[in-house]
Structure formats: structure tokens, C-alpha cells
A = this chain, B = another copy of it.
Amino acid sequence: MSLVANQGLRRLSVAALARRVGLVPSGIYRHFRSKEEILTAVLDRIQERLLANVQAAREEHDDPLDCLRDVLMRHVRFIREGRAIPRLIFSDDVHAGRPDRRQRVLAVLRRYTDELDALVRVGQRQGRIRKELDVQTVVMAFLGMVVPAGILWHLTEGGFDVTRHAQRAWKMFCAAVAEPQESITP
């Protein structure tokens, strides 16, 4: 039952969540033991989604760069549906006291970057991505295309065109990391 209307990703507060699923606040506790549990469930869903993005992109593209680009675009789409991943990632609940929460967030992030990491490595092995680049840095640069854009998108309440930005940023990204190809098909 963790799938109750994650549509849009709830803002904090049990009452708000309850309203969104057409329930009275106390009803929530029939499905989750505590707010903590809700939070972890949401984090799980975020992780699922991110990994599913990578998976899907992998299935559709052989070329690692194409694949990365697809992941980027999927991530952008994800940002645009779910209102508030950042809200969740930073907000009170997450960092309020206990480190286990932060730990969990970090774990999700790491899980995602590990996938990206793998993609980049493949790209390097296939000569599509410059071998002299530090993999971690490339992955961070990838996040750099999406995170600030997401924040801006959400600060402007959708006014910032994340999609267009992603397209432009991708070109710059390629300029920085793609290995110049000498021959079209050797």
C-alpha cells in the first residue's frame, strides 16, 4: 500500500497527505506506523524511480552517451511530475536530528550515482567518453545539469524551462566529456 497516490510527491505533514488521498488524518495510521515510515516509503519510491530510469534508458540505447542523455531527459521528466523531491530531500524531516534519515537519503543518491558511474565507465571503455576524466567528476557534472535546474524550476513554480535547459546543458556536457570521434564507423 506504499503506492497510495505518490502522484506529485506529498508535501510534508500527515494531514496534507490524508487530504490528498481522501482520508482523515488518523486514517493514515492504518497504512503507516509513523511519519518516519511514510518518509522512508517515499524515499524508496524515489530510488525505485531513479533506478528504473537508468534501467529503461539502458534497454533503449546501446551507446553509453545516448543512454546518459536519455537518463538526463527522464530525470527531467521526473522533476516535472513530482513537485518536490528537493523539498523532501532537504526538509526538516530529513535532517531533523537523527542521522539515519540523512544516511538513507545519501544512500539513495549513492545508489543512483553508482549506476551513472557504471555508465560512464562503459562509455570510457568504448572510447565515447574521455578516458583521462575522473569518473566521479563526470557523474557530478551530470548531476550538475539536473539539480540546480530542478531547484530553479521549483523556485519559479514551473516557470523555468527545465527541458530546454537540459538540451542545451547536454551539448556543453558533451563538449566537455565526449571523446572526439575520428571516424564515423571504423
| Interface contacts beyond A109-B152, A143-B144, A175-B175: sample of 20 additional A-B pairs, CB < 8 Å, sorted by A | A89-B90, A90-B90, A90-B151, A102-B155, A102-B157, A105-B155, A109-B155, A133-B172, A137-B165, A137-B168, A137-B169, A138-B172, A140-B152, A141-B144, A144-B144, A147-B151, A172-B176, A172-B177, A173-B176, A175-B176
Number of residues on chain A facing chain B (CB within 8 A): 38
Copies in the complex: 2
Contact A148 B143 (CB under 8 A): yes
Which chain B residues border A181 with CB–CB below 8 Å?
A: none
Which residues of A from 131 to 161 have beta carbons under 8 Å from B? Answer: 133-134, 136-138, 140-141, 143-145, 147-149, 151-152, 155-157
Which chain B residues border A152 with CB–CB below 8 Å?
A: 109, 140
Let me know if A12 is at the binding interface, CB within 8 A: yes
In the docked arrangement, what's the CA distance between A91 and B147, Å? 16
Which chain B residues border A102 with CB–CB below 8 Å?
A: 155, 157
